[in-house]
Amino acid sequence: MDSFACPLPPAGDAMVLLGHGGGGSLSQRLIDQLLVPAFGPADGVLHDAAVLPAEAGPLAFTTDSYVVRPLFFPGGDIGSLAVFGTVNDLAMVGASAIALSLSLILEEGLPMHLLQQVLASIRIAAQRCGVPVVTGDTKVVERGKGDGIYINTAGIGRVDHGMQIGPKAVRSGDAILVSGDLGRHGVAILAARQELGFRTELHSDLAPLQEPVRALLAADLELHCLRDLTRGGLASALHEISRGAGLGVLVRENAIPIAPEVDAACELLGLDPLAMANEGRFVLFLPAHQADRALAVLQRFQPSAASIGCVRGEAVLLETSLGLQRRLELGRGESLPRIC
């Protein structure tokens, strides 16, 4: 569990009460004592919506709710996940986050110090990404109608490139790269739930992806498609992109980077590392002649980044280590609930 120094004053309340979501004096105290100190505004005056200055270009817009269990895991917590996850979704269209919203669904009885810790983590993560939390909301549900904290973040991003990054831009012959080794987040969550049956020092790969994407843009590469590898892992991402592009892909099992600890854990549990969740990895499609340059950029951030295959045919295929080709399986998605 990451520990964050908590810069916030004690809330004066030991736990979250239903009234903290009721819009009365308890709500006001929660806002005054925890939310305004963490996220501003400087004058402490909140309004129904934030007003952002005009932007010259197009904007990206995304949302995600986070229900990860447990709230704290090796390498992160629901707070940092809620910031990086949404910042990363913006990065996948080549956008830099300029504003986040933060909406909390708290369960009655949540210890206030856990809420403080999560808010501190959100603040630190947002600072690291250079993005302010500009608007928010808090609701409280009864005991047994939630699970501690659920968080929604929505994000607005600035798009300052002229490309249409997405599945439609993928072309036959494109190279496929991953930004680092796969599956660490899924295994770290299982370990934190003590569902592994053995101990591991493995941490989640949770990380902001703005910087590597900015570096790719700065290198003047023709980015066809980016997709962060969250729920469903690489397998889901390849299937979705293939479907959106109307083109097949072939990836080589030998080329896909998997840490030995992840491989071992998946083997033991009968899970497919290619379907394991990540929170700091993405897949990149671009013209094959730019693959080496792109890989060099990615390896500055993660030495394990790799070129794993290409776009061709119509099916989503995996070339196994024995040289056989088989369809890459897309799980039903039931094996790892609440991974993010």
| Three-class SS state of 147 | coil
Q: Tell me if 286 sits within 8 A of 223, measured CB to CB.
A: yes
Q: How far is the CB of 292 from its own copies (least distance, A)?
A: 26
CB nearer to its own copies: pick between 4 and 182? 182
| Three-class SS state of 309 | strand
CB nearer to its own copies: pick between 62 and 307? 62
Q: How far is the CB of 191 from its own copies (least distance, A)?
A: 19
Residue with tokens 């993560």, as numbered in its chain: 125
CB nearer to its own copies: pick between 4 and 280? 280
CB nearer to its own copies: pick between 6 and 36? 36
Say how far apart CA 61 and CA 59 lie, in whole Å: 7
Say how far apart CA 194 and CA 314 lie, in whole Å: 40
CB nearer to its own copies: pick between 43 and 220? 43
Beta strand 149-159 with 59-66: parallel, antiparallel or unpaired? antiparallel
CB nearer to its own copies: pick between 28 and 254? 28
Assign residue 236 a region (left: φ > 0; alpha: ψ between -120 and 50; beta: otherwise).
Answer: alpha
Q: How far is the CB of 115 from its own copies (least distance, A)?
A: 15
Q: Tell me if 340 sits within 8 A of 68, measured CB to CB.
A: yes
Q: How far is the CB of 314 from its own copies (least distance, A)?
A: 16
Q: How far is the CB of 323 from its own copies (least distance, A)?
A: 27
Q: How far is the CB of 201 from its own copies (least distance, A)?
A: 26
Q: How far is the CB of 28 from its own copies (least distance, A)?
A: 8
Q: Tell me if 273 sits within 8 A of 182, measured CB to CB.
A: yes
State the amino acid at position 68 in one-letter form.
V
Q: Which two tokens stand for residue 166?
A: 């997405």
Beta strand 225-228 with 149-159: parallel, antiparallel or unpaired? unpaired
Residue with tokens 């210890």, as numbered in its chain: 111
Assign residue 113 a region (left: φ > 0; alpha: ψ between -120 and 50; beta: otherwise).
Answer: alpha
CB nearer to its own copies: pick between 64 and 261? 64
